[in-house]
A = this chain, B = another copy of it.
Amino acid sequence: MFQNVLIAEDQNTINKGVERTLNELNIPNIATTQYCDDALLKLKAAFRTDQPFDLLITDLSFKADHRERTLKSGEALIEAVKTIQPNLKIVVFSVEHRIGKIKNLIDTYDINAYVEKGREESIELKKAIHTILEDKMYCSPSIAQLLRNVDDISQTDQYDELLLQLLAKGLKREQIANYFQEKDFPARSLSSIEKRINKLKVLFDAHTSEQLVAIAIDRGLI
C-alpha cells in the first residue's frame, strides 16, 4: 500500500473526506494542501528526504483568491511535478467530464487514474488506488465509456477544431475565410467554410451555430 500520499484540493471539506477514505485504506501518512504551489513545494521538499510522496491525488480546478499563484490548475501542477518526480503516481479527482480534456490529460501526462467526482467517488478512489498498485490505469466507468467512443470525435480533426475555436472567438464566416487565406489552409474559401460548419452541425446534431459552439465546449473540443 502507499505510504505517503498528498492531496491537492481547494475544497476543504473534500480534503477531509478524502483523508478519511485514505484512513480506511490504512495509509499512514496523509498530507493535504489547498494550493497547487504549496503542493509542489511539499512534493519537492519530501523528494529530498528518504520519505518522498508515492501518490498524488489532485483536483483540476482551483479557485482564485487573494493569494498570488504560479500554478493555477491541476494540469499545471502535474506538468511541474513530472519534471522533478516523473515516477510519482497520480490520481486526478475532478468533476471534469469533457472527454477531450480528459483524453488530453491521459495522453499528455500519463496519469495513473481518473476518478470523476460523484456519488460513488469514495468507492472509486479506493478501486483506483488498488488498481494503481497493480501498475494498471484506472478510470471511472462513465468516463471509460466515453473514451471508447472518442474516435468518433477525432474525425473532427485539427481543422474543425480551429474552425470551432474561431467561431467561439467571435469571428464571422468571412473573417474566418480571410484568416484561412493568410494561413494558406486548404478549403479556405467562404463557401468551404460554410460547408464545413454545416457538416459539423449535422455531426453534432446542432440546430444553430450558437448551439454548435455550446456543444463543442461541452465536449471539451475547444
Q: Return the CB mask of A119-132 against B: 1 if under 8 Å, else 0.
A: 11111010000000
- Nearest B residue to A93 by beta-carbon distance? B13
A45-53, A153-161, A163-171, A179-187 - the one binding chain B: A163-171
The A interface, classified by DSSP as helix, strand, loop or mixed, is helix
Number of interface residues of A (CB under 8 A): 39
A16 CA to B208 CA, complexed, in Å: 43
28 A-B residue pairs with Cβ-Cβ distance under 8 Å, sorted by A, are: A11-B117, A11-B118, A12-B121, A12-B122, A13-B13, A13-B21, A13-B117, A13-B121, A14-B17, A15-B17, A16-B21, A34-B119, A63-B118, A167-B208, A167-B210, A167-B211, A168-B210, A168-B211, A169-B214, A170-B207, A171-B207, A172-B207, A209-B210, A210-B210, A210-B213, A213-B214, A214-B214, A217-B217
